[in-house]
Chains A and B, each alone.
Chain A
Amino acid sequence: MSAPEKNIGDILLKVENISLSFGGVKALTDISFEIREREILAIIGPNGAGKSSMLNCINGFYHPQQGTITYRGEKRKQMRPHEAAKQGIARTFQNIALFKGMSTLDNIMTGRLLKMKSGLFTSAIYKGPAEREQIEHREFCERIIDFLEIEAIRKVPVGRLPYGLQKRVELARALAAEPTLLLLDEPMAGMNLEEKQDMCRFILDVNDEFGTTICLIEHDMGVVMDISDRVVVLDYGRKIGDGIPDEVKSSQAVIDAYLGVQH
């Protein structure tokens, strides 16, 4: 069953003329694109094209030397990652960044950190408001556990989980922050076909159920073409394509970037 036409909304985040360099290395050059509400946008490109750098700029980890990022109609000044998180931008990482010794549940609970209000004192007493708050957040996390079907590993330390499940836990933690914009850095790298199918379904479900806007980096073209509404193509730090999957697939510049051209 195909879902009815998706209701893609206004511009959520606008990137204008971003340039980023590390010393003499130009990671990003004059990049502009926009992410609209409720869409799934894929950023693709060969290795070293600047995809992860782009995500790092959006989430405030890198600070571009030039250009502006407008998020929810507001031009962003220099921003730190935790401020981006407060504004509703959550992400997962290319190399899993979970707390290996903590259980799945605890890892997901850390995603609720910014939503917790009890201070040091009330938390230390625990009974009363802090306990109520804890229960509330736990319930939210349990909904995510149910959603991503990871009940069986709730109490297992994530270090003991296989790779595909760790990726899923990372997604769960990002979702726990109730993000408006979810950045996924290669959510399917290193997965087998079945794990990829599961992950695709979860990404589509998150997008559909919670209306979360998703910006993802992915190498598997099959996946990208299947699930994204729009694709942005980077190569050597420049944008060489932007459009719906079919357009991008047939664009000569993109084909050249992927297959190489004779000079």
Chain B
Amino acid sequence: MSETSGQPDGRDPLGRDTIPKFFAYNAQHRRDRPAMREKALGIWQAWSWGEVDARVRDLAGGLAALGLKRGDKVTIIGDNRPELYWAMAASQSLGAIPVPVYQDSVADEIQYVIEHAEARFAVVENQEQVDKLLSILDRLPMLEIIAYSDPRGLRHYGQPFLRNLADVTKQGAAYNAAHPGFIDAEIARGSGNDLAIICYTSGTTGRPKGVMLSHDNVVRSANLAVAFDKLNENDQVLAYLPMAWVGDNFLSYVESAVTGFCMNCPESADTVLQDLREVGPTYFFAPPRIWENLLTTVMIRMEDASAIKRRMFHFFIGLARRAGRNILEGKPVALTDRLLYALGEILVYGPLKNVLGLSRLRLAYTAGEAIGPDIFDFFRALGINLKQLYGQTECTVYLCMHTDTDVIPDTVGPPAPGVELRIDEKTGEVLFRSPGVFVGYYKNDAATAETKTADGWVHTGDAGVFTDNGHLRIIDRAKDVGRLTDGALFAPKYVENKLKFFPHIKEAVAFGDGRDHVAAFINIDLAAVGSWAERNGLSYTSYADLAGRPEVYALIRGCIEQVNRDLSSDSSMTASQIKRFLVLHKELDADDGELTRTRKVRRSTIAERYGALIEALYSGQPSIAVEAKITFEDGRTGTFKANLKVDEATTYSTMRKAG
């Protein structure tokens, strides 16, 4: 679209510097085009830009009548509902700042955010959220109004500060009629420096921090991203990720306002995959676990298919894995493969994409965690333009994105337009400067100063390296990155992720900081290795027995050597090849404090508990006796004795990649 492209700094050529100005523009120029859809009573309902704008204005009038003023905070809690997006737009129209909160937060978490943000208004979805707020009301003296969009179950709630959003909208229409020009004047008063939103980061460490983003941040970032991916008003997105996450806010709400495309709200959280199929988005973002789910569903369903279908599927998927990516990226492909692929499109790929709801997909992103190369390749092989994106709340979503033709599964792409990246030489941490750099952490200057240096560079907290072709590869959290004795960079999570992509390996812990080589603990996946043992006629009595089998060691050694080969192809990572490893006799468990509840490895606990094993990895001894304390499910404890073998894996010297 000519109206958004062109400016290298992302400034809007038409001078629209706040989101409400885009809404007003769309209402004028796209009056009858669909802006939002939601499935209600089984039927998709659409609102045009004209209708959305009218609702937002009425709602803004209603909020103003209730006393909402410029600079006030409005907390928004609920699933992705058009009413809640309208409340967000209405607040922004008045110069108030929406503060979305994760809808599954418990009352205490909500209390912290409302208290910290000093929100005077809350707009929530339903009774569930109202009940949560009422349970903490006595601790929230600043909260004046709670408005809800779904009145079910709330009929008997008599509190004077509770309002039905529909009533607020109605009063707003009357208010606007009595004050003509009020909303327009308020929108015109807004400027790019005003805050657009405060997103509280989920806070894996300590209390959540409120990231302040200005209208300038979101508008300029959106303009650049829209031009980069050539998004336009004909695109369709599914707004299904939490509203409190900056990604949904940006990819659904902001980009929709900027380009005028239509965002679709799913019927409920459980129906997302069905809604995906009905909507058929052209632009879709999903974290790795969703792609993984889609792939697993396909594979399981294919197992139950008839023999002919199954063979056809495997033949054409094999072909796609060989030729699909090259066809997608416009690289040379043998004519026979090209013809077969076209046939496969009719017989397998087309129907498969249709079932998944990906037929119209033109652009797809994944981000958040490392995605298995197998999964990533599968979708690209089908001709789906799946790419990686890297970013965080502090930079307004993105820093790096793959371009359509240059995609490498284990990188996150080159720096996006408008983004400057550099890697701190001492720590390996990724630093950035971009139009999306956040204003600061709300009421937390200390944290802001720590993250944002005086010359405008922002610390991501992630360690990364640039690959030879200019892509960024994120390897670990910066604080976990260490160095081998020869000075080479060592990122444990990068190595562990590579290992965990093998189905036989459930968990891996890599060591190497301050050592002369890398060594690892491996946890086998009982289900996968168990069924492998069954197929190979290997009998075993227990997890520990299976884990100690020489055949299993050989299996794991194979995986490790493949990882080593992989690492050797990359000059910056070749030193991280695993020399020695052992297969643990027990599963790492959150109950024993070895993992966090979200299944992240607790390095300090493991280093302490398995100190002797780590020494064995480095001392060169062939085996070590262990005695472990185990906590049973009923809370009793017992001890376990075994002799663990330490095995060696082949390492490879650096190879240059062919081509």
Contact = CB atoms under 8 A, between A and B. Distances in A.
Interface of B: 39-43, 131, 134, 152-153, 155-158, 267-268, 270-271, 274
A178 to B, nearest CB: 17
A206 to B, nearest CB: 11
Q: Across chains A and B, which 3 residue pairs bring their CB atoms closest together, nearest first?
A: A152-B270, A142-B41, A3-B156
A208 interface: yes
Interface stretch (A95-103, A119-127, A143-151, A168-176): A143-151
A142 B42 contact: yes
Interface in A127-182: 138-139, 142-143, 145-147, 149, 151-152, 154
A209 B267 CA distance: 22
A149 B267 CA distance: 10
A149 B268 contact: yes
A261 interface: no
Contacts of B267: 151
For the residues of A in contact with B, the DSSP-based class is helix
A25 interface: no
A205 B41 contact: no
A207 to B, nearest CB: 12
Given A1-B157, A152-B270, A209-B152, A143 B41 contact: yes
Nearest to A105: B42
Interface in A246-263: none
A9 B267 CA distance: 37
Interface of A: 1, 3-4, 138-139, 142-143, 145-147, 149, 151-152, 154, 205, 208-209
Nearest to B269: A152
18 contacts: A1-B156, A3-B156, A138-B42, A139-B41, A142-B41, A142-B42, A143-B41, A145-B41, A145-B42, A146-B41, A151-B42, A151-B267, A154-B42, A205-B153, A208-B153, A208-B156, A209-B152, A209-B153
A151 B270 contact: yes
Contact of A4 (B156, B270, B274): B156
A151 B153 contact: no
A209 B150 CA distance: 14
Nearest to B157: A1
Given A145-B41, A208-B153, 7 more contacts: A143-B41, A151-B39, A151-B42, A151-B270, A152-B271, A208-B155, A209-B155
A208 B127 CA distance: 14
Contacts of A205: 152-153
Nearest to B130: A1
Contacts of A208: 153, 155-156
A60 to B, nearest CB: 33
Nearest to A6: B156
Contact of A151 (B134, B155, B271): B271
Contacts of B270: 151-152
A263 B152 CA distance: 53
Contacts of A147: 152
A147 B268 CA distance: 12
Nearest to B154: A1
A138 B42 CA distance: 9
A143 B268 CA distance: 14
A145 B268 CA distance: 12
A1 B42 CA distance: 31
Nearest to A2: B156
A143 B42 CA distance: 9
A14 B152 CA distance: 32
Nearest to A4: B156
B268 A152 contact: yes
B637 to A, nearest CB: 28
A4 B155 CA distance: 10
Most interface-central of A3, A142, A146, A205 (chain B CB within 10 A): A146
A112 to B, nearest CB: 15
Contacts of B41: 139, 142-143, 145-146
A152 B42 contact: no
B264 to A, nearest CB: 15
A3 B158 CA distance: 10
Contacts of B155: 208-209
B129 to A, nearest CB: 13
A151 B268 contact: yes
Nearest to B272: A152
Contacts of A142: 41-43
B131 A1 contact: yes
A151 B40 CA distance: 10
A205 B151 CA distance: 12
A109 B309 CA distance: 35
A142 to B, nearest CB: 4
Nearest to B274: A152
Contacts of B42: 138, 142, 145, 151, 154
Most interface-central of A1, A138, A149, A208 (chain B CB within 10 A): A1
Nearest to B127: A1
Most interface-central of A152, A154, A209 (chain B CB within 10 A): A152
Nearest to A201: B153
Contacts of A138: 42
B149 to A, nearest CB: 14
Contacts of B274: 152
A151 B274 CA distance: 10
Most interface-central of A138, A145, A151, A208 (chain B CB within 10 A): A151
A146 B126 CA distance: 13
B13 to A, nearest CB: 43
Most interface-central of B40, B155, B156 (chain A CB within 10 A): B156
A3 B267 CA distance: 28
Nearest to A155: B274
B279 to A, nearest CB: 15
A95 to B, nearest CB: 27
Contacts of A149: 268
Nearest to A146: B41
